[in-house]
Amino acid sequence: MNNTRINPFYQFCLLFVLSVGLMILDNKTSLFQPVKTIGSIVRRPFELVVGIQDLVPQIAEEYYDSSVLREKHERLERDMAVLRAHLQRYDAIKAENERLGRLLSASVESSDEFLLANIVTSNIEPFSHKIVIDRGLESGVFVGQPAVSPDGVLGQITEVGYRRSVVMLLSDVGHGLPVQVLRNGLLTIAVGTGKPDEIRLLYLELEADLRMHDLLVTSGMGNRFPSGYHVGTVTEVLKDTSQPFLNVTVTTSTRANYTKDVLLLWRSAGQAPGDGQEASARGE
pLDDT the model gives residue 141: 96
**In Å, how far are 102, 185, 230 from 238, measured between CA atoms?**
34, 20, 23
Instruction: Provide the pLDDT for residue 46.
Output: 62
Helix (H) or strand (E) holding 157: strand 152-160
pLDDT of residue 238: 95
Q: What is the pLDDT of residue 51?
A: 62
Task: Please give the backbone phi and psi of residue 216, each rounded to the nearest 5 degrees, phi first.
Answer: -105, 140
Residue 194: count other Cβ atoms within 10 Å of its Cβ.
14
In contact, 139 and 277? CB cutoff 8 Å: yes
Q: Are 279 and 139 in contact (CB under 8 A)?
A: no
One digit per residue, the tens of pLDDT, for the chain of length 284 reads 455 666 777 777 877 777 777 777 666 676 666 666 666 666 666 666 666 656 666 665 655 556 667 777 777 876 776 676 556 556 556 766 776 676 666 555 555 678 889 999 988 788 789 999 999 999 999 999 999 988 889 999 999 999 999 999 999 999 999 999 999 999 999 999 999 999 999 999 999 999 999 999 999 898 888 888 899 999 999 999 899 999 999 999 988 888 888 889 886 434 444 443 433 332 33
Task: Say what the pLDDT of residue 124 is.
Answer: 79
Integer Cα distance of 177 and 183 in angstroms: 18
Read off the pTM.
0.59
- CATH for 111-267 is 2.40.10.340
SS3 sequence of 175-234: CEEEEEECCCCCEEEEEECCCCCEEEEECCECCCCCCCCCEEEECCCCCCCCCCCEEEEE
Residue 175 near residue 156, CB atoms below 8 Å: yes
pLDDT attached to residue 258: 80
- Residue 217's pLDDT is 93
